[in-house]
A = this chain, B = another copy of it.
Amino acid sequence: MPNPVAAQGSVVQGTVAKGYEGVREAFEATFAEERAGHSAQLAAYVHGEQVVDLWGGPGMEGDSLTGVFSSTKGAAHLVVALLVQEGVLDLDREVRHYWPEFAAAGKEHVTLRDLLAHRAGVIGTDEGFTLEELADDRAVAAKLAGQRPFWRPGTAFGYHAYVIGALTGEVVRRATGRTMQELYEERVRAPYGLDFYMALPEEQEDRFLTTQPMDPTPAQTRALQENAPGRHSFFGVAFNLNHAVPTVLEELPNHRVIRAGGPASVGGTASARGLAGMYAAAISGLGDREALLTPATAAEFAQVHSEGRDLVIGAFGAFGLGFGNMAAEKFPFLGARAFGHGGAAGSQAFADPSTGLAFGYNRRRFAYREDNEVQLTRLIKATHEAATR
């Protein structure tokens, strides 16, 4: 990083490049808003050069790893993008071409593109999953193959929160004979030296910090209780509340079985450096390694395919292929082709090809959603402004 400016006399450690002082200030401001004990990391690259490398809070180091929940989906679909780029996968082929058992209960004509755009409607099963099943994409895929969709495929969309990586991963496995986890490790993580693991090896466990439970205010607690989702509702099915022994979202990465299996929808562990680094590798390359994606592939995966009211979340959403379209979804000041993904605890990562920016944020305490969105907007705005000045 050129011209590093160290933060001092602050809870925040690390450095920013000249011109990115506003990012450090915005990051520091989040600590003032949060209760004691908050810890987080922030990293950014521009055209493959790191410009932000910050962290702070008890026990948090620059290379600490935490569960990144659905930010994992970005790693998974970077693998899919590579395979599409190479002609191994065809977006407009019906899923059954790769995975014959999937052609059941009204899913016969669902394409890989539909899966990636969260349009297939197979957000879970009627009975839900055990924790062990959730740790194993093949087990999840096997149970989903015969499942009747929860909406008419193609007519609506909704967040396939716990299963999209198992669905697209099964297509990958049938087409290549390799799992998403293997391909990600070999083609993305290892060659670029990224601290962003889909399946976390035993020897990296000492850097892992558990996710801390949400610490809502009394008003937030009331709001959460009043809007508690039904077990068999769209949200309930998608977040596995309908199993006889419902799993607890905020505890997922705290189970070693999940971290070890690294399910492609929710099982990844990373630092902010790893999150931002992966998106830098995707669009810019890192060091002397070239970008993983051509501009055309990145543009195709960023293209909005589904937007409007998400049937699962019950609020506005906008997806490209496997990634969210960042500008359409939440951050309208970003480039129209910015693509990325966030995770339930509050992590967020993306690439914006219009400015060459790759961004990664990570936090340890499970966030209250609305608060997190306000903080992310400020952090991303500050980084975007510095990168375009």
Residue of B149, B228, B318 near A303 (CB, 8 A) is B149
Whether A152 contacts B332 in the complex (CB less than 8 A), given A231-B388, A355-B232, comes out as no
Contact yes or no, B234 A148, CB < 8 A: no
A156 touches B233 (CB 8 A): no
Which residues of the other chain, B, contact A332 by a CB distance below 8 angstroms?
229-230, 233-235, 314
Cβ contact within 8 Å between A152 and B230: no
Q: A150-B304, A311-B328 are in contact. List 16 more A-B contacts (CB 8 A).
A: A121-B303, A148-B296, A149-B303, A151-B325, A151-B328, A152-B303, A155-B304, A156-B307, A229-B332, A230-B333, A232-B337, A232-B352, A233-B336, A237-B336, A242-B354, A307-B309
16 contacts between A and B (CB under 8 A): A121-B303, A148-B300, A150-B336, A152-B303, A152-B304, A155-B304, A156-B305, A229-B333, A230-B332, A233-B332, A234-B327, A234-B332, A234-B336, A237-B336, A307-B311, A308-B309
Query: Chain B residue with minimal CB distance to A231?
Result: B388
In the complex, what residues of B have CB within 8 A of residue A325's CB?
Answer: 151
- Judging by beta carbons under 8 Å apart, are A230 and B151 in contact? no
**A324 to chain B: closest CB distance in Å?**
13
Residue of B nearest to A352 (CB): B232
Contact with A232, one of B121, B318, B336 (Cβ below 8 angstroms): B336
- The CB with the most chain B CB atoms within 10 A, among A117, A148, A156, A384, is that of A156
Cβ proximity bits A213-248 to B, threshold 8 Å, 1 near / 0 not: 000000000000000111111111100001000000
- Copies of this chain assembled into the complex: 3
Residue A106 at the chain B interface, CB threshold 8 Å: yes
Contacts of A296 in B (CB 8 A): 105, 148
3 tightest A-B contacts by CB? A232-B354, A232-B335, A230-B333
Closest to A126 in B: B354
CB neighbors of B among A374-389 (8 A): 384, 388
